[in-house]
Amino acid sequence: MLNQDFVFVVLQASLTGAGLILAIYALITPIANKLFKSRAEALIQVTKEIKKISEKIDTKDTKDTKNRIARLTTLTEELSSKISFPTYLSWGILATFVGYIASTLMCIEWLVISSAPICEHIDYWLSPVFAGSTIAFLIVGIITIRDTYLLMKKEFEEIKRKIEELKPPPKILTK
């Protein structure tokens, strides 16, 4: 049987988690265009590399051919992951949000109807649902941070490159 303090803590954490999931979506929305553009550029690079490697494959069964085929297999898997909409932005966020809302509703139900026969399923399911949502939140958060970092790093490198282009060439001292 759960105690009331635990249920209040899980209720508060679930509401906070649901709010943070919405915050992740709010963070990603303004940079989504840049994120998708970056994925498209990576997709083009992978496609070019696939074409380049596939042109070099010959019909002879050599170690080099096997290595190229293995590399093609890896690139094809990478290609298919870049073609689709990022899973963490759809199913990952949805599952996490639904999990936190479910655990919130379970807490509310437990607090309102705390009679033992009715709440047995809540006693069993509340902790796993909350823990699963928290683990999913951790995964979604890490992937979001990684994508945001890579995007900011790429933009910083572009700005750095533009600054280097604007610098005047060094003057050669002559006597």
Model confidence pLDDT, tens digit, residues 13-27: 999 999 999 998 888
Q: Which residues contact residue 140 at a Cβ distance below 8 angstroms, ignoring those fewer than 6 apart?
A: 21, 24, 88, 92, 93, 96
* Stronger pLDDT, 72 or 30, i.e. the higher one: 30
pLDDT in the model for residue 81: 67
Q: What is the pTM of this model?
A: 0.71
pLDDT in the model for residue 173: 63
Burial of 61 (0-12, 13-18, 19+ CB in 10 A): exposed
CA distance to 82, 122, 157, per residue, from 113 (Å): 47, 11, 57
pLDDT tens by residue, 36-80: 888 788 788 878 877 777 777 666 667 777 777 777 777 777 777
Other beta carbons within 10 angstroms of residue 130's beta carbon come to: 23
What angle do the packed helices 116-166 and 93-112 form, to 10 degrees? 150
* Stronger pLDDT, 2 or 57, i.e. the higher one: 2
For 41, what's the count of Cα atoms within 13 Å in the CB-facing half-sphere? Answer: 8
Mean pLDDT of 151-161: 88
pLDDT tens by residue, 98-126: 999 999 999 998 888 866 566 678 888 89
